[in-house]
Each structure stands twice: as C-alpha cells, then as structure tokens.
Structure 1
Amino acid sequence: MNKVMTYRGHFRAIAVLGLPLIGGHLAQFAIGLTDTIMLGWYGVEALAAVTLASSYFFVLFLFGAGFGWAVMPMVATAAAEEDETSIRRSTRMGLWLSLIYAALMMPLLWWSHPILIALKQEPEVAETASKYLRVAGWGLFPALIVMVLKSYLAALERTQIVLWITVTAAAVNAVANYALIFGNWGAPELGVMGAAIASVLTQVVSLVFVVIYAVRVLPEHNLFQRFWRPDWEMFVSVLRLGVPIGLTTLAEVSLFAMSAIMMGWLGQVPLAAHGIALNLASATFMVHLGLSNAATIRAGNALGRRDRPHLEKGAIAVTGMSLVMSVLTVILFLTCAEPLISLFMEPDDPLRPQILAIGTGLLAMAALFQLVDGAQVIALGLLRGLQDAKIPMVMAGLSYWVVGIPASYYFGFVQGMDGIGVWLGLVLGLACAAVLLMARFWLRSVRMIAVPAE
C-alpha cells in the first residue's frame, strides 16, 4: 500500500511545489500590471483602451491555454507511472494544438475594431484598443507555446525554473515599457503601441529561455526531435481534455471580459476604475491559481499511483491554504482600498477623485468574492488533476453565463446599481461555480480512485 502522508506533510509538499508557481503567476501578472500602471501614468484614455484590449486578448489566450492546462495533469500522471514516452507525446501534441489554435485566432486579433464597435464600446477607445491588438496579437504564438512548456516543467515539479523564467520576462517587460511608452533612453515615444511591442518582446524572451532549458536540461524527452511528425492518438487525447478545460477557462474569463464591456457602457472613468480594481483582485487570485496548479499536479500524481487517501488529504490541505489567503485578502481590500488604488494614478490626475470613489466600492465587492473565487479555482485544479473536465465545463458555463453575466446586467443596469451591480453579478457567478465544482469533486470525482484492499 502507499504510505499515507500527514496533513503537515501535505502542507509542506504543497508549499514547496506551489510557492514557485505562485511566484511565477505573480510575475506573469506583473507584466499586465506594469502595462496598467505605466499606461495609467500616460493617460486615462490609454489605460481604458488597454484594459479593453487586454480583456479581449486574454479571452482568446486563455481558451487556447486549455491545451497547456491539459498537458499538466497528463504529464504528472505519466511521471507517476514512470512513462517517459507519454510525457513526450502529450507535451508535443500540446504544442501542435497551441500553434494551430493561435493561427486560427489571428484574424480575430487583426480585425478586432468592428467587433469592439459591435460590442458598443466608445469609438476612440475601440480604435486605440484595435491598434494595440494588431501588434500585441502576434504574442499569442509564443505565449501559448510557453504555456505548454511551463505546464510540462511544472508537472515534473521543476517549478523553480518556471518562476525564474517568468521573473526575467517581467523585468524585460518593465524595461521595454518604460522605454517605449514614454520615449526614455533615446527610444521613440510610442504610448499604447510601445506597450504592445513590449508585450510581444516579453513573450519571445520567455519562449527562448524555456526552450533552451527544456532542450538542455531534459534532453531525454527529445521534445523537438522530428517535431513535424503527427501523433494522432495523443493529439486527440490532448484535444479531448484541452477543449473542455479551455472552454471552462473561457467561461470564467468571459464573465470578467463581459464585465469590462458593461463597465465600458458606463463610460471611460468607470472602465478605468474597473481595470484598477480587477488588477488588484487578480494579484491575490494568482496565489489561489498557484495553489490550484499544485493541486492539479499532486492529484495527477495520486491518479497515476491510484492513491485515494493521498488525494483526499491533499485536497483538504490545499483548500485550507486557499481559505487562509482569502481571509487575509478580505481584510486588505476592506482596510487599504484607497492607498492600493492610488498606486495606479498620478497624484494630480483630474479624474483621480472619481476613479477613487468608484474603485473603492468595486474593491469592497472584490473582497466579497475572494472566498468563492479561491474555492472554485481550487476545485477546478483538483478536477483537472483527475482529468475530469467535461462536466466541470458544463457547471462553469451555467455558473458564469446563466447566473453571472445576466446577474451583472440585471443589478448593474436594470436595478441601476452601475459598477457595484456589475460586480455583484461576478460574486453570484463565482459562488455558484464554487458550490457545484466542490460538490463534483467530493461526491463524484474523488471516488474514481478505488481504495486499495488491506
């Protein structure tokens, strides 16, 4: 029988595996945060445009990232089974699917302007956002490849290198933004376009580093040897897991993207305040996402070893760690809202009082959804580790599209609660997902692993 680990052992193992992943997610988040802060300094219109453009880009990116997410549990399970061939096959087909998907999405990024106009965005903001996307959109290719390779490395518990590659990319992004947005160090002042160029450069740098590491440190997997040869059986396996994962992520991200669109209907100032509040909420979410990734890897290992007691105790441990983080975040958002929002604006910005007033209310709502947001992403991580994705996809779709988005519209516009109402819809959608997904894991999925006989 497998040796049952104590809760203390689980906390320690999750921390060792999860902390670098959390750091990597925070570094990745810092890339978008740098854009937001520097464009906020550059002007509210630029900030509003990139807030809109980033929401649009990440809807497409995170659906495609489903193939990277699929690689993580598949590699983790194969590693537990000591199946080196399956590690290579699943990673390689994850790369194939990511490249195909990026090529298919490029027209939506190149011709985004009419789509944004159809979504009733302000013409000036839509024009600037579409110009940004025509450049930043090319970063979808390296970004998705990096996503697959980071998942491959994380599943092999090489999380330190994932952290350092992302930290390096964040540093490159900050330097490139500072030079190209404002015209520092002799560079041209390009504003929003400078941020777009910096974004693509950052993704390319990440790609170079992660490929070099994978080739030199893990040559036994031969990821790129005869890369052009198809492996249709594994291609279909990654596709079957990656599509529902991508659609699940799309359902959640599109909830937030629709909230950005609705905030855009309220005007440029509410949209800018929404961008700031969402960035702050996203920063704390990165901790839960890192814990979720650790949950995926450890659940995948448990599946490979058919170790149900390990899975159950690990699930309780990671959920408890997420809960502690949620409570700390609630306290932070309720007590330090104004100083946090002020980080994103110049002291003499004439719109500062309006943005502060709206943003403070939105952060109070963000505090409300911390508990349920953490719970739903932990549940998703555990379910993905068991390669259970189809039913969770349906649950997510119902929660975000049937509950969350209609509730946002109803409270924001029908009830006239404006931005607070839009964010109340987020809370309800996330709460519904948390309940359904946790129930799915504990009542059904965890029982997929039979307890060994004494």
Structure 2
Amino acid sequence: MDSETRIKSHYRALLRLGLPIIVGQLGIIMVSFIDNVMVGHHSMNELAAASFVNNLLMLLYVFGIAFGYGLTPMVASSDHRQRHFSVGILFRHSLRVNLWMGVLLVGIAVGLIPLFGVFNLPDELRPVVMPYYWIQVGGLILVMGFNTLKQLYDGMSDTKTPMYVTVTGNFLNMVLNYLLIFGIGFLPELGLVGAGLATLMAR
C-alpha cells in the first residue's frame, strides 16, 4: 500500500468515526433549540423561561458530559487488546461514578435556586420557570446514564449507534413537544411544562 492510499484510508476511517460523533453532539444542542423554537410559538414568557433554564443548565450538562469522556480511551485500549471482561468492568464502574456525578449535578442545580435573584429574573417569570426547571433537573441523571453508554460505544468504535439513538430521541422530543405544548387531540395544553415532560420522556 503506497503512502497516498494509506493517507486516504486514514481519512476515511476518521470520517467514519468522527461524523456520527459530530451529529450526536449537535443532537444534544438541538434538544434545547427545539424546545425554545416550539415554546416560542406558544408564549413569549415561556420562551424567556425556557431560554433562562436551558442556558443555565447547559453549563451543568457540559460539565457532566465532559466528566464521562474518560471512559472512551480506556475502553478503546481494552477493546483493541480483546480484553472484553475489562471493558465490562470499566463500564460498570463508570456507570456508577457517572450516576453519582448526576446526583451531584442535581444538588448543584438545587443549590442555584436561591441565587436566581442574581440573574435579575423577573418575579412574574418565577412561576413559569420553576416547574420547567425541576423537570429539566430531573433529566440530569438520565443524561449521565446515556453519556456513559455513549462513551462505551464510542470506545468500541461504534459511533453510529449513539448517533441513531440521539437522532431518534430528538425526533421523539419534537413530536411530544407538539402534542404536549399545544394540547393536540385529547392531550391537555401544558405549554412549557409539556416541553419539559417531552424532553424528559425522550431522554
């Protein structure tokens, strides 16, 4: 194999692994974006509340997701050496640690509530913000659990499966948003709370 062919094969392998990861990361961002767009068609106050909550909690999501990235290289190393038992042990311990990190993030999110005044949050938005905030905080632990599974698959060079799950979850979130925000059919019109429940169920 000449050098040019070898370089092309490296690029193909990189794209095959990297593009699904890019799509998956975009999918994580799209959850909040979809919520904001659809809620904005229902109420401006709810859009303001959703933007506040999503931007605030995104810092915790990023911190939690970054914390879980340590699993990928360890799994990749064990998987390359055909040490599948070690992969299982790594996953088990990582899942435990990440779920505890999710609990810690929930604690931090709860601790931020008394500081809402620092953000100059208008009093009239508090009744709109709080139910949505609590629902989204509950989803932190689910995010950490999924992220552990994602890093496991990424470490085994199967980056497509997490991408498919993320894209499917985004589609489900969008459908449930439409049904629960606007109260389609026999479902009640829940507005921003509906968006929060839709995101929680999709996660």
* Alpha carbons 2:183, 2:189 under 8 Å: kept: yes
Indicate the residue corresponding to 1:137 in structure 2.
137
SS, match of residue 8 in structure 2: helix
How far apart are 1:173 and its partner, in Å?
A: 0.4
Aligned in 2, Cα 1:77/1:125: closer, same or farther, shift over 3 Å?
farther
**Structure-1 residue corresponding to 2:197:** 197
Q: Distance in 2 between matches of 1:155 and 1:82?
A: 13
Contact kept in structure 2, 1:78 and 1:87, CA below 8 Å: yes
The residue type paired with residue 35 of structure 1 is: D
Q: CA deviation at 1:200?
A: 0.8
Equivalent residue, structure 2, for 1:34: 34
Aligned to 1:79: 79
Aligned residues with identical type, % of pairs: 28
Give the partner amino acid of 2:184. Answer: N
Compute the displacement of 1:67 (Å).
Answer: 3.5
Which 5+ residue runs of structure 2 have no aligned equivalent? none
Q: Look up the equivalent residue of 1:139 and give its one-letter code.
A: G
Q: Distance in 2 between matches of 1:145 and 1:91?
A: 11
- 1:134: how far off? 0.9
Equivalent position amino acid for 1:155 in 2:
G
- Calculate the aligned-residue CA RMSD, in Å: 2.2
Match of 2:122 in 1: 122
The answer for the alignment partner of 2:157 in structure 1 is 157
Shift in Å at residue 78 of structure 1? 2.0
Q: What corresponds to 2:69 in structure 1? A: 69
Distance 1:151 1:99, change over 3 A: same
Cα distance between partner residues in 2 of 1:124 and 1:5:
63
- Aligned partner of 2:101 in structure 1 is 101
Q: Could you say what secondary structure the match of 1:150 adopts?
A: helix
Match of 1:49 in 2: 49
What TM-score do the two structures reach when normalised by structure 1? 0.41
Change (3 A) 1:109 1:189: farther
Number of aligned residue pairs = 201
Between the aligned partners of 2:47 and 2:132, the Cα distance in structure 1 is: 12
The CA deviation at 1:110 is 4.2
**What is the alpha-carbon distance in structure 1 between the residues aligned to residue 86 and residue 124 of structure 2?**
50
Indicate how the Cα distance of structure 1 residues 112 and 130 shifts in structure 2: closer, same or farther if over 3 A, else same.
farther
Cα distance in 1, alignment partners of residues 79 and 97 from structure 2: 22
Shift of 1:15: 1.0
8 Å contact from structure 1 (residues 67, 94) kept in 2: no
CA distance in 1, matches of 2:87, 2:71: 9
Q: Is the 8 A contact 1:67 1:97 kept in 2?
A: no
Q: Which residue of 2 aligns with 1:21?
A: 21
Q: Is the 8 A contact 1:117 1:123 kept in 2?
A: no
Cα deviation for residue 115 of structure 1 reads 1.9
Q: Which amino acid aligns with 1:24?
A: G
Once the two structures are superposed, what CA deviation does each residue of 1:95-131 show, in whole Å capped at 9, x if it has no partner?
1111112223324434644222133333333443232
Structure 1 residues 5 and 157 mapped into 2: Cα distance closer, same or farther (>3 Å)?
A: farther
* Larger RCO, structure (CA 8 Å, separation 6 or more): 2
| Displacement of 1:198 | 0.8
Q: What is the distance in 1 between the residues matched to 2:61 and 2:157?
A: 24
- 1:24, 1:158 → 2: CA distance? 12
**TM-score under structure 2 normalisation?**
0.88
5+ residue gaps, structure 1, are 204-454
Q: Does 1:12 align with 2:50?
A: no
C-alpha separation in 2, matches of 1:4 and 1:155: 27
